[in-house]
Chain A
Amino acid sequence: MKKRRAGMLLAAGLAGLLMAGCGASTEETTAAVESTAQAESSETTAEAQQEETSAAETEDGEKVLTIAQGGDISTFDMQNHNNGVTGAVLCNFSNGLVERDDNNDWVCVLAESYEMIDDETWEFKLRDDVTWHNGDPFTAEDVKYTYERAATDETLAENHIFSVIKEVQIIDDYTVRFITDGPYPTMLSLLSKNGSQVMPKKYIEENGLDYYLEHPIGVGPYKFKEWVKDSQVVLERYDDYFGGTPYWDEVVFRSIPEASTRVSELLAGNVDIIVNVPTNEWERIDENEGTEMVLGDGTRIYNVIMKWNTSPTQDLAIREAVDYAIDTESIINSILKGAGTSCYTRIAPGVFGQDESLYNIQKYDQEKAKELVASSGYNGEEIEFLVPTGRYLMDKEVGEVVAAMLQQVGLNVKLNVLEWSAFNSKFNSGDFNGMALIAYGDDFFDASYGMNEYRTENCTPISCYSSPEYDALYLEALNNMDPDSRSQQLIEMQQMIFVDECVQAPFIHLKVPYGVNSRIDFNSRIDELFFVDRIHLK
């Protein structure tokens, strides 16, 4: 229900926000967010002081938040990573011009206001009270440096998405204009995505990028203290933060690859929040005094990828049969312990342009699937089903059950379970004959990002769908500045891909399982990042 509301709010809000944003109300909005946070923070601080020393508090009364993720961050180069683990740390260290709040709505952060001058030009007025952690003022120069570098340096992991920016013009010290390559309605999605935080121009030019990577500075609420690679990143409070005094004194992001160790750390009271808790540990965490499970929303959706140009899956009837053969409810209830929703589009709720008619419905019809297989002329050729292990929630188990369900409707499916890097190599090179299981996520929050894959020009050995009609529709949506009709176009695209042509078979939208110390008031975010100033002591 909450998710639906967020999606609708986003769509409705977009229309109003698109042309100009924040403006006079910008400061109020930001200030409101910040002042609420601070008001809450002072209350909780008082309460917290009465509590006995907790995991979140050291003996000398310092407030320390410890979060255990499954891996280490890879860099402090904001635009050279594409992983959530790194993003979850960096969003506390530096900010973007606009960001998304906990309801997934845009709020101005480093920007004071923004305005679309024409289809290809966006103007941002910047706050003039922002400082880097070394005391230097944050100016338009930093913005130009950050985004032009991201747009032009092809070795950067985020280059492929920022390359739409043609130029960043400096109007004055606190005003910039982004010139895009053609009309670009998703500018705010781009500037608020994971990996869009600003980098310090002067500091990097004076000291070099290597020095910056060892001694990074940002403009965010927490500054760099220590990074022991593959062990932990420690950030500490930045007292001159433009948004007011940050809530925690210190934030520790630990890297603990083994899930059972993360659970042990939580049970021992050493960490406050852990990620990716396997379903078999949920009961132990819930039954233990002082810890609890939180199932948050995310954007990952399990999807059966079917090869388009080889193997029996090039037959529409077979692809349709896959859709009907998977009993999503029983997978959700038995393997995922309720942490999922049936879903027949790869676009999750909360992402602009999602087709709600394909969400939370059941298509399972074993008889129909059997009929489709029988009518297709399929004569029992082997279909490989590539499944990763240890990557997504219960991936191997889900893959095994899906394979069994496909066998039940008469498809000769051969399961091939592989560890992630081996899976990924095989998957990306298209070196498999039939199908693969993958769970796509989306940190762009616009359906155009996920639906890009089905254009003729993105034909890969995995999936080579090609339809001039689809390509034309995609281009129209890509350049369409009217949110209402654009949303309709994106929905139409999902109908073509997932209903008419069954190019892929999305089937379950996953929840995100966190283990949390009961002293912590934690609301998960749909982008799975941790904005730690919004996480408080109860």
Chain B
Amino acid sequence: MNRLDLLSLLLGVYVLLYLTSVADSIKWLSLAMSSGATATISSANYCDSLVGLVKRQRRICKKNLEVMESVKLGAHEAIQECQYQFKNRRWNCSMVDPKSLFGNVLKLGTREASFVHAISAAGVAHAVTRACSSGKLTKCGCDRTVKGPSKDGFEWSGCSDNIAYGIAFSKTFVDAREKKSKKSGKNAGRRLMNLHNNEAGRLAIEQNMKVECKCHGVSGSCELRTCWRAMAPFREVGAIIKEKFDGATEVKSVMTKNHPRLVPTNPQFKPHTKYDLVYLVASPDFCEPDPKTGSFGTKGRVCNKTSKAIDGCELMCCGRGYETRKRKVVDRCFCKFHWCCYVTCQECEREIEEHTCK
């Protein structure tokens, strides 16, 4: 643990020196990788030891120490969800190393970058909301509607639901990186893109909440019915953002009245809404390894022989062809399950055919 802490401290210093470009704005995601999942967050020093935060985020961290655990969890969930959603694509959200995360892929304003921004902003909102619900965070807001926060707010009209706080915190923390507006020149477009995609990710949560209701009037009749919003599981949020990734709009930054603005590159396309993802640069094809773009290439990737989609061998291997190998795998079968904790299975051996790209 100590060695890890030292390492993260060093990395932190390194990152601080390094933080000059907006393009690195997803660096904070490396929180997901920092030390053990249950490391105690108790002192303000902790915030300084974290890798990948900007000054403003560090300040937020120090003010909201108890929330950081959830932020970490959110970042972790976001990365996992990204890898799940992209497991069949040429770029599979794989990480270069815990420090630089996805490598150079996200340095450019590609579709992939837009997805990672959206899913990470959503991940933080999701995790903070859950932590609020489980009572781990004491500071979750209690303001309510018209009259704003009042001292006896809870007694008078209850608190707003936890989602409001989760979303608000994600906005403060994740967007904090993008607030630097001194040099609004070249990077202004990228900053706008990041902010837009962060917001789109959070909106994916807000727009897909289920409304659940319960009747509890006289004798349980529906004379009195109370409804509340419930957050969709993160897997579904991920799927929704993935859909938005598929339909993302290419935009460019233009100056109107001295303010940069994003407009679709192709004027014939319908302008994007706040729910859509936007990107500035077309993605590379990710066929060959290229350190400049951060592409790993698809050599050695497993593909699906029968599929015609992107996970099919044709597309995945970029026409280079594939190798077929037969190998034996040990699988679990005839399982006996409990709802929790353990599954007792027998082991069965079977032979599978595996195709990998050349």
> Does B associate with A?
no
Q: Which residues of B contact A (CB under 8 A)?
A: none
